[in-house]
Amino acid sequence: MERIKVHPATPHKRSIEMIAATLDRGGVALVPGDTSYLLVARIGKKSAIEKLNRIKERTKKFYSVMFRDFSELARYAEVTDAQFALIKRFLPGPYTFILPASREVPKIMLENRKEIGIRIPDSPLMCEIIAACGAPIIVSTAGSGEDDFFTDPENDEPSWLHFVDILADGGYLPAELTTIIRLEGNSYEVVRVGKGQVDYFS
């Protein structure tokens, strides 16, 4: 595993290029995101998704897809105009919106409900990684379970770390979860309360 130092707010171009190259080869990166350290893979890379499944200790796992902006959202999710307007009120930010997945989403990523989580980060580092890849990226909170979060590159040595191809060390970062909202037609469901406020949805 390769280790590099990064500054999440002002990342160097060379660091971005190294992470993007790893993802393009089907590797998995461990990077500081806007809410926690994230496990990251390039969408469409089966070998990387299989690594994520091993880390998460699942045969198939629901993952979120992170976009740099709103331009490609409708390519990967079925979203109405009203839902799109709602999403734009809260993103970029610490929210994951669950929508029906389009046919562009690889089947290996889908569970029975055929849904996709949509994220747009408030993070210069993550946005630049996505731009360098030229495609959305798959993300998941770094850890194999709900209480097993990676927070400190200096001290954390989880058993799954050998599956990671490159670790971007941005220093200690406490693990916070996104707030998850499922959108169905004109209704919504708060699936998980996290960092994002839910007053609007109460």
The rounded average pLDDT for each run of 10 residues, N- to C-terminus, in the chain (202 residues) is 93 96 96 95 88 78 86 91 95 95 78 84 95 93 79 93 96 93 92 93 80
Distance of CA 41 to the CA centre of its chain: 8
- The predicted pLDDT at position 143 comes to 83
Would you state the pLDDT for residue 82?
Answer: 94
Cα 173 from Cα 82, distance rounded (Å): 35
Closest CA to 167 of 14, 40, 25: 40
The pLDDT value recorded for residue 61 is 63
Predicted confidence at residue 146, as pLDDT, reads: 61
Helix (H) / strand (E) element for 133: namely helix 124-133
Give the model's pLDDT for residue 104: 82
- In this prediction, residue 147 carries a pLDDT of 63
The residues, any chain, with a CB within 8 Å of residue 57's CB and separated by 6 or more, are 144, 145
Strand order in the sheet with 166-169: 2-5, 166-169, 29-32, 37-42, 137-141, 64-66, 115-119, 95-100, 179-184, 187-192
Strands (E), 20-92: 29-32, 37-42, 64-66
All structural domains of the chain, each given as residue ranges with its CATH number in brackets, are 2-201 (3.90.870.10)
Identify which of 148, 126, 137, 120 has the alpha carbon closest to the alpha carbon of residue 56.
148
Is this structure's pTM higher than 0.85?
Answer: yes
